[in-house]
A and B are shown apart, each in its own frame.
Chain A
Amino acid sequence: MKTLGIMIKRNIKLFFKDKGMFFTSLITPLILLVLYVSFLGNVYRDSFIMNMPDILLKNEEFVKVIDGLVASQLASSLLAVCCITVAFCSNMLMVQDKVNGAYQDLLIAPAKKTTLSLAYFISTFISTLIICMIAGGCCLGYMATVGWYMSVSDVFLLLLDIIILVTFGTVLSSIIGYFLTSQGQISAVGTIISSCYGFICGAYMPISSFSEGLQKVISFLPGTYGTALLRNHAMQGAFKELERLGLPKESIIDFKNGVDCNIYFFDKQVPVSTMFVILIGTVIALIMIYVLINLIKTKKSEKA
């Protein structure tokens, strides 16, 4: 256990001291932030108020809720991306160790390979969680300044979403990273994840704006439900407020469909509880796959 603890400490320190790796992990969330500040925020705001009756738009309280809604959409998008990209960048330490020979140096010692793998896993989880919790805190702070509509349970559920998504990102990156052995592969995976994940999880553009075929494909990806969970817990307070201010239920459903709070699996709406089940189930399945890969690899090397 002490070996595991010291190796976790080593990995976390390395991640935060390697400025390149640390800042690379923040590129996608930063791009998202720039997009929102420069135009995406306004685009969403305009789309939200489009077709709204004038009487509502003249209500200052209503406009404030809309601003709060945009802020919570930014927050949920940012967190959805952060949980995955930071985990991937943090876990690239495992591959970097293989590339620069440090892993060979670790294996020359009698510590078990599984201990090293577990150390990478836990340290990635902790590093990612630290960053995502700080990002979550900043997002909540921003939402509080723009317009706060979240309940205490919403905040806790949002934090729970972050924890589950970070675990998902950690285990997914652990499985992929296990098979990577070169700097080129690190760059390729890093680039793909940074550029693509924001799109496929609906952070840059709502999934509802994609073509029907693509929506169907995306509905098979577990990360989609992670984004939807964050959206629901960040935005449901604002939706309740809109309802209180007189916005018809049908309009709120349209709103929810438009911002991916409602996800449809072959035209059937997926309830929030099912989203949790899908995401947690995926995490458990991926953890089992990762353990299995490690066991098979360890047994193979013992046999050889």
Chain B
Amino acid sequence: MNIIEITNLSKSFKNIKAVQNLSIKVKEGELYAFLGLNGAGKSTTISIMCGELDADEGTVIIDGIDTKKDVQKIKNKIGVVYQKSVLDKDLSVYDNLQSRAALYGIYGSDFEKRLKELSELFLIDNLMKRTYGKLSGGEKRRIDIIRALIHKPKILILDEPTTGLDPQTRKLVWDIVNNLRKEEKITVFLTTHYMEEVTDADYVVILDSGIKSAEGTPLELKNKYTNDFITLYSVNLEDVQKLGLPYEKLPDAYRIEVKNTKEATKLIMEKPHLFVDYEITKGKMDDVFLSVTGKKLPGGLNK
């Protein structure tokens, strides 16, 4: 079942076309990734989904409800983790979560019960009385995610949730999200420009200047937009050059580009003496993005 259906969505700000004729379908329980540079239209799409902005054209249906018809109901189904922490830095974690829960009509024993559930899941019992602004980056992100989940939403929107975080905290965030998907079967809608974050997604959409440029599973995208690579160890340059294929010198090896896995197999069969120590890998999401948009994404480690 599709939990999000966006059809022919367009939104402009004066002369800037932020989103152009975008159509996507997100299945329930999926990790759906929106990949694009800043200004690609990711945040605009999220703002329309959350009812903060109105679309110029097109429809957005969340869990069967049209955003134009009953945005208040949709707000109960969505939890958002923003790129920047937006909780009150001077209040305690408990006070922050209490005030946000109240906005969803969750008070008293219902609030305490939900807080206990989340506290056990995220191991934050010792943080409750601490001032939010004095928490570490990782602790803050955990609380941000709890805030987004306080009303048991069906969809968790992560708007560039790890931008500016150190690698350890990024890993922590992803461990939490993966655990959440397992435990609460929640749909995760992710926007990011970090490549390693989309390789684990069920489905990826690449946005470029408001236009959907490519979509598919990470494997489909890699197969479609990049070649395969054979990394050859313990060979000399002369042998590699004799293959007549594009290559890249690595510290202890050579990375040879081949069209696909079939061609790699053929090459191994033809020159078995060269393939004593080797590995075959798909192209990276960086390569996919470069191939699709002609642009390089900044930051991130590659898988």
A2 within 8 A of B: yes
Q: Name the A residues within 8 Å of B103 (CB-CB).
A: 3, 7, 106, 109-111
How close is A12's CB to chain B, nearest CB, in angstroms? 11
Contact B86 A100 (CB under 8 A): yes
Task: Establish whether residues B95 and A13, one from each chain, have CB atoms under 8 Å apart when the complex forms.
Answer: yes
The reply to whether B86 and A102 contact each other, CB–CB distance below 8 Å, is: yes
8 nearest A-B residue pairs (beta carbon) = A109-B103, A6-B102, A101-B86, A17-B90, A111-B103, A10-B99, A105-B86, A110-B75
* Alpha-carbon separation in the docked complex, A108 to B90 (Å): 21
Judged by a CB distance under 8 angstroms, whether A104 is at the interface is yes
Interface residues of B in 50-96 (CB under 8 A from A): 50, 52, 54, 72-73, 75-76, 78, 80, 82, 84, 86-88, 90-91, 95
Kindly state whether residue A152 has any CB partner on chain B within 8 Å: no
Tell me the smallest distance from the CB of A270 to a CB of chain B, in Å: 43
CB pair A3 B102 closer than 8 Å: yes
In the bound complex, CA of A49 to CA of B86 (Å): 58
Whether the Cβ atoms of B104 and A109 lie closer than 8 Å is: yes
Count of chain B residues with Cβ under 8 Å from any Cβ of A? 27
Rounded to whole angstroms, the CA-CA distance of A208 and B261 in the bound complex is 93
Contact call B105/A3, Cβ cutoff below 8 A: yes
Q: A102-B86, A105-B86 are in contact. List 13 more A-B contacts (CB 8 A).
A: A2-B102, A6-B98, A6-B107, A10-B88, A13-B91, A14-B90, A102-B87, A104-B52, A105-B82, A106-B100, A109-B104, A110-B104, A111-B103
Q: Which residues of B contact A6 (CB under 8 A)?
A: 98-99, 102, 107
A10's nearest neighbour on chain B, judged by CB, is B99
* Bitwise interface map of B from 228 to 240 toward A, beta carbon under 8 Å scored 1, else 0: 0000000000000
Q: Is B86 a contact of A18 with CB atoms below 8 Å?
A: no
Q: Nearest Cβ in chain B — how far from A9, in angstroms?
A: 8
A217 interface contact, C-beta 8 A: no
Interface size class of A (residues with CB under 8 A): 20 to 34
Report A-chain residues with C-beta under 8 Å of the C-beta of B87: 102, 105
A304 interface residue, CB < 8 Å from B? yes
B129 CB → nearest A CB, Å:
14
How many residue pairs between the two chains, A and B, have CB atoms under 8 Å in the bound complex?
Answer: 68
B82 to A, closest residue via Cβ: A101
| Cα(A111)–Cα(B95), bound, Å | 17
By a beta-carbon cutoff of 8 Å, the part of chain B in contact with chain A is: 50, 52, 54, 72-73, 75-76, 78, 80, 82, 84, 86-88, 90-91, 95, 98-100, 102-105, 107, 147, 151
CB nearest neighbor in A for B105? A3
Would you give the shortest CB distance from A244 to chain B, in whole angstroms?
Answer: 53
Q: When the two chains form their complex, are residues B86 and A109 in contact, meaning their CB atoms are under 8 A apart? A: no
Q: How far is the CA of A9 from the CA of B84 in the complex (A)?
A: 24
Given A7-B102, A102-B86, does the pair A110, B91 have CB atoms closer than 8 Å? no
Task: Return the contact of B91 from the options A3, A10, A100, A109 (Cβ within 8 A).
Answer: A10
Q: Is B84 a contact of A105 with CB atoms below 8 Å?
A: no
A110 & B107 in contact (Cβ 8 Å cutoff)? no
A residues lining the B interface (CB < 8 Å):
2-3, 6-7, 9-10, 13-14, 17-18, 100-102, 104-111, 304
Residue among B87, B88, B95, B104 facing the most chain A CB atoms (10 A cut-off)? B88
Distance of B1 from chain A, by nearest CB (Å): 23
> Which residue of A is nearest B147, CB measured?
A105
Task: Point out the residues of chain A lying under 8 angstroms from B72, CB to CB.
Answer: 110
**Cross-chain contact B107 with A2 (CB below 8 angstroms):** yes
CA distance A7 to B104 in the complex (A): 12
Q: Which residue of A lies closest to B98 (CB)?
A: A6
Q: How far is the CA of A107 from the CA of B82 in the complex (A)?
A: 13
CB neighbours of A107 from chain B (8 A) = 52
Q: Identify 6 residue pairs between A and B in the complex whose beta-carbon atoms are under 8 Å apart, listed by A's number.
A: A13-B90, A13-B91, A104-B52, A105-B80, A105-B82, A106-B103
Q: Is the CB–CB distance between A18 and B107 below 8 Å?
A: no
Cβ-closest chain B residue relative to A5: B102
Within 8 Å by CB of B100, from A2, A18, A104, A109, lies A109
Residues from chain B with Cβ under 8 Å of A110 in the complex:
72-73, 75-76, 103-105
Bound CA span A111–B99, Å: 11
Q: How far apart are the CA atoms of A109 and B76 in the complex, in Å?
A: 7
Contact B102 A105 (CB under 8 A): no
Look across to chain B and name the residue whose beta carbon is closest to the beta carbon of A19. B90
A109 and B75 contact, Cβ closer than 8 Å, known pairs A10-B99, A14-B90, A102-B88 = yes
* CA gap between A301 and B95 in the complex, in Å: 29
Question: Is B100 a contact partner of A105 (Cβ separation < 8 A)?
Answer: yes
B91 touches A14 (CB 8 A): yes
- Cα A18 to Cα B91 in complex, Å, equals 10
A104 to B83, CA, bound (A): 13
Tell me the minimal C-beta distance from B154 to chain A in angstroms. 14
- Note all chain A residues with C-beta closer than 8 A to B102: 2-3, 6-7, 111
